[in-house]
Amino acid sequence: MNVCMLVANPILYDGRVIRHARALVEAGHKVTVLGVIGPNDADGELPEETPFAVKRLRRQRRGILPRLTWATTALRQRAAQAIGKALPPSLLTLIPGLADLAVATSAVELAAMAVAQPFDVYHGNDLNTLPAVAWAASLRARPYLYDAHEFYVEESPSLSEFERRARRLTEERLARRAAAVLTVNDLLADELATRYHIPRPVVIRNLPPRFATTDPQLLPIGEVGTLRLLYHGTHIGLAQPGTDDVLRAMARLRAELVVRLTLRGQLSAQEQTQLWQRVAELGLTGRVAIAPPVPGPTALMAAAVAEKAEVGLAFHPPLAGNFRLATSSKVYEYQMAGLAVCATDVAGNHVILDESAGAFYPFGDDQALAQILRRLATDREQLRTLRHNARTRAVAEFGWETEKERLLTIYEQLARRT
């Protein structure tokens, strides 16, 4: 089959999209991935050996034409939002395209790219590509899949009532028309099925490929009173919920322990300045390092091992439904790399982590987090056991090699129907 896969990011660091595209190519399908480089996104190219075609909509504000194009897109979305807010909810349902435009910034441009050549099936990743795949599939009279990585109707506590309403209208209407709906865990599958009265989505967990590394049980126990932490995220600045939690926890321990933190991800120059100011304010200069993002889970796991990270951090504040229900791919990756995990105490984290491999703390409670870090730094034998258990479970349960069969089964069923 000739597959068109859409995602509203630059693709470079989207492990799920890359894994899915690669698996389909290896199974004999032809894949083209369409992405978006936004005004604030880091640019870059995928490796030359990438086995699928890549085309990207460039939204960087470089030059007059790109600036005008981006301004037009933003104005279109804001106009749709303004009109939608002015309409009563009952009338908005009669103009669903208005909700689609309000939800998805680049829907029109992505749809135009998607219909520029014939495809057998369209695969939309996330709600912000769902209108584009639905429109393109309709114009080409082909099926589409919806892959929901998050719970977008409650993605953030800052969403307005109109934004929630528009997202629900778009997601419900277009998910019902999809040939199949995919998601990343059982919590989200149950929620989407119940909320939208659709068949239960197929769960394809966001697992990394199996990664070869030394069992932590065979590594040296390490120096008592020290601890090496890793936090990996798309954004790692102070605006990212959880970043200041760990900094405050480290400040509580700075006189008695040597805790070092590597923050790996994207930071603007302004965000980096703010972060260093906060680090200095808390007396942590020399104990925090910033590292650039890496392309994909294998590179992340390799970097974690090379840097001798011992504990991976996963922050999900219970401020919105998405934070409570979604699971983070980094938790799988930390465990596969042989790291213990310290995560916020929300349902989505409990799905993929237990206390044999890590610890949970209440979001925002830096005192509780400090207690966990103190215990792991001083009881090095316990830390090594947690790391061993994390690695053992990941190898047994969290490898992409078995998970991908569900994806290939869906495409086999589509091929028989088309």
The domains located in the chain, with CATH, are 2-207+400-417 (3.40.50.2000), 216-397 (3.40.50.2000)
Q: How far apart are the first and last CA of the chain?
A: 9
Reported as a pLDDT band with limits 50, 70 and 90, residue 63 is low
pLDDT, position 62: 66
Nearest CA among 9, 68, 60, 62 for reference residue 39? 60
> Under a CB-based contact definition with an 8 Å cutoff, are residues 329 and 359 in contact?
no
User: What value does the mean pLDDT take over residues 279-303?
Assistant: 93
Q: What values do phi and psi take at 43, rounded to 5?
A: -90, 170
pLDDT, position 381: 96
pLDDT for 72 beyond 90:
no
DSSP state of 342: E
Question: What is the tens place of the pLDDT at every residue in 10-54?
Answer: 888 888 999 999 999 999 999 999 999 877 777 778 888 899 999
CA–CA distance, 155 with 127 (Å, rounded to integer)? 11
Judged on CB neighbours under 10 Å (0-12, 13-18, 19+), 266 is: middle
pLDDT, position 185: 93
Residue ranges with strand state E in 132-189: 144-148, 180-183
pLDDT, position 158: 86
Question: What is the tens place of the pLDDT at every residue in 226-243?
Answer: 999 999 987 899 988 899
CA–CA distance, 361 with 357 (Å, rounded to integer)? 14
Neighbours of 331 (CB within 10 A): 27
Strands 144-148 and 2-6: unpaired
pLDDT, position 94: 86
Q: What values do phi and psi take at 398, rounded to 5?
A: -115, 40
Judged on CB neighbours under 10 Å (0-12, 13-18, 19+), 417 is: exposed
CA–CA distance, 266 with 236 (Å, rounded to integer)? 6
CA–CA distance, 258 with 228 (Å, rounded to integer)? 9
Give the H/E segment covering residue 176.
Answer: helix 161-177
CA–CA distance, 116 with 355 (Å, rounded to integer)? 50
Mean pLDDT of the chain: 92
CA–CA distance, 3 with 415 (Å, rounded to integer)? 11
Question: What is the tens place of the pLDDT at every residue in 346-368?
Answer: 888 888 899 999 999 999 999 99
pLDDT, position 230: 98
Nearest CA among 142, 166, 408 for reference residue 133? 142
Reported as a pLDDT band with limits 50, 70 and 90, residue 217 is very high
CA 114 vs CA 5, 19, 46, 106, 273: distances in Å: 9, 20, 20, 12, 40
Pull the structure tokens for residue 404.
């991908």
Tabulate helix, strand, coil % of the chain (nearest 5). 50, 15, 35
What amino acid is encoded at 301 in this protein? Answer: M
Strands 30-37 and 202-203: unpaired
Q: What is the dihedral of CA 406, 411, 415, 417, to 10 degrees?
A: 70
Give the H/E segment covering residue 277.
Answer: helix 269-281
Q: Which residue has the tokens 């009173």?
A: 225
CA 214 vs CA 73, 294, 311, 337: distances in Å: 49, 21, 16, 9
Question: What is the tens place of the pLDDT at every residue in 110-160?
Answer: 999 999 999 999 999 999 999 999 999 999 999 999 999 999 999 888 899
The pTM score is 0.89
